[in-house]
Amino acid sequence: MLKKIALKAFEKYASRWVVLIVDILLVCISFILAYTVRFNASLNFDLNNLYYQVPFISFIALISFLTVGSYRGIVRHTGTRDAFNVFIGVTLLSMITISIVLINNTFNIIPSFTIPKSIVIIHYLISILVLIISRYVFKAFFEIISTELKTITNVLVYGAGNSGLITYGALNRDTENKYEVLGFIDDNEKKTGKKIDRIRIYNSTTINKEFIESKEIDEVIISIQNIKSEKLLYLTDRLLDLGVKVKIIPPLSKWIDGDLEANQIKSIKIDDLLDRKPISIDNPIVQRDVNDKVILVTGAAGSIGSEISRQLSLYKHKHLVLIDQAESALYDLQQELLQENRKNITFIVADVRDEKRISEIFKQHKPQKVFHAAAYKHVPLMETSPYEAVKINIAGTKNIADLSIKYNVERFVMVSTDKAVNPTNVMGATKRVAEMYISCLSHSENHTTKFTITRFGNVLGSNGSVIPLFKRQIENGGPLTVTHKDITRYFMTIPEACCLVLEAGTMGNGGEIYIFDMGNSVKIYEIAKRMIHLSGLNFPEDIDIKITGLRPGEKLYEELLANGENTTPTYREKIMIAKNQKLDTLVISNKISDLCIANKEHNNQKTVQLIKYIVPEYKSKNSVYEKLDITKG
């Protein structure tokens, strides 16, 4: 308690004026010491002289230190520059003193006032020594107190290679936190038992619950560059079970000026553990394809649309037109891009279902490329609102696609979903119908517009996705809700998804459905458990997981390819083209037009039945529309 009070007192009161007063006091004490040194540690000198000499020295010291500013440095951060300023200040003090003494002796101004020149020289040397040492003593004292008051974090560094050594150095340099590295972990048996800077290297097999508890380990930092996702997943699960916090160093490319800093070491996030390698697409063809072009994005304020808009805004486009019916979300995106000084962007509140309004926008801005991301995507909500799902996902897509042909758009790119493959719900089925309509237009020879479809799985962090839901449930104390213990999903990050969309906007001759190599599907139940552990909590003691049952239209697993589809590669290793099923384009396009007209009757049963005629593979699951599968002829 006394140490805390002392530390606060240092921080609050050790201002520059206190430093100035202390320096003057030390100068006065040094002056007295100079006399004792000169007279062999005896008092064989006239003590009365000190009564007027000490105030004189104090005044000269005040002038000197104010002139040089030696008192301005923060004492607890004393360095060579501060020591040099002290040297200059004391030198000036001695020069003024010796000058006044010589003038007084020459002109005999005050006969009784005299200071031996030897005293001035001795005082000069003692003052420099005392003032500089006092600063370093104060600095050391402050560091001792502050170090003892900081909470020490006991750390193990996983990886005893170059990256591990760099991490060790970064932790030692950190002045904000107190880390104590108690050991390195490495899978290489040849390193086991050896030491780095007197710190032992342990084999990973020896790290168990007893080891963690005996060493009082708080954190394990994984310091392995280019670690495989499978390895990271295994290590994280194992370490979290031991009750320690798991952190990871960033990739080398993200180090600050090539150096790793302790504040860059972050806790592992759930997207680090999704059993797949993040893919970054860097294609100069995208730049060539969007520069100097007028580009229109629908659904621009949504999760995917907003990221597409952000990435496009970085290019040298001629004009970027962003459309969304969500006023508040579009306003937020507007403020974000304006704050970042992105230029040549128009934000328009409009509904893709409003043919007249959208036609006016096309006529005014004459877009050359269209990225269509506007859609309703929430499965349970759309299962109870087929009318809205058809109106936006099918009629809205049809409206934008038809206008793209009318106004000679060069390329139309549609954002689709893996739920359109062998759909079991209204949302997925409407997206599949939209895909089919785009495919029909692709086979038409009456226009020059190239139509492209992109199809991918769930997006991490998007509105309504499982990750934000789990975060909110953890913040509220749980439980986490999972519909089925065996349910799996594909995942990708929003930037990755949008890279795919932009990439697809430059590839092919039109009519292709591009799918992404998304790695392995992941069990939602396992994600829930990992998120609990990554939040520093225990499952099921702190937060439990509740199985709620499959929702209407929900699948246990998703697919990226429909029956009868297979893939061909592209020049991008992770992007493939799904070979389309053969369609009777005239019949299908007519059925889709009829569906849009029939949907206006607000008869959900009839609407869903018509969708099932268009998409024969659409089989409802856990839904009121299952009976329509039986009567479908």
Catalytic residues: 419
What is the pairing mode between strands 491-493 and 545-547?
Answer: unpaired
DSSP state of 297: E
> In whole angstroms, what is the distance from residue 416 CA to residue 171 CA?
45
Give 480's contacts (C-beta < 8 A, 6+ positions apart). 470, 473, 474, 528, 531, 532, 543, 544, 545, 546
CA 476, 477, 478: angle at the middle one, nearest 5?
100
Distances (CA, A) of 120 to 47, 94, 213, 231: 16, 7, 63, 71
Cβ neighbours of 349 (radius 10 Å): 13
Element of type H or E holding 458: strand 458-460
If we measure between CA atoms, which residue out of 413, 454, 459, 489 comes closest to residue 574? Answer: 454
Render 154-210 in DSSP notation, one character per residue.
Answer: EEEEE--SHHHHHHHHHHHH-SSSEEEEEEEEES-GGGTT-EETTEEEEEGGG--HH
Are 452 and 505 a contacting pair, CB within 8 Å? yes
> In whole angstroms, what is the distance from residue 346 CA to residue 320 CA?
6
Helix axes 16-38, 80-107, angle to 10 degrees: 50
Reading the block at residue 343, the tokens are: 């230029």
Cβ neighbours of 115 (radius 10 Å): 21
Are 404 and 358 a contacting pair, CB within 8 Å? no
Render 580-600 in DSSP notation, one character per residue.
Answer: PPP--HHHHHHHHHHHHHHGG
Task: Tell me the residue ranges of DSSP E strands in 224-358.
Answer: 245-248, 266-267, 294-298, 319-324, 345-349
Are 294 and 317 a contacting pair, CB within 8 Å? yes
CA 336, 490, 234: angle at the middle one, nearest 5?
100
Are 517 and 575 a contacting pair, CB within 8 Å? yes
If we measure between CA atoms, which residue out of 392, 474, 464 comes closest to residue 426? Answer: 392
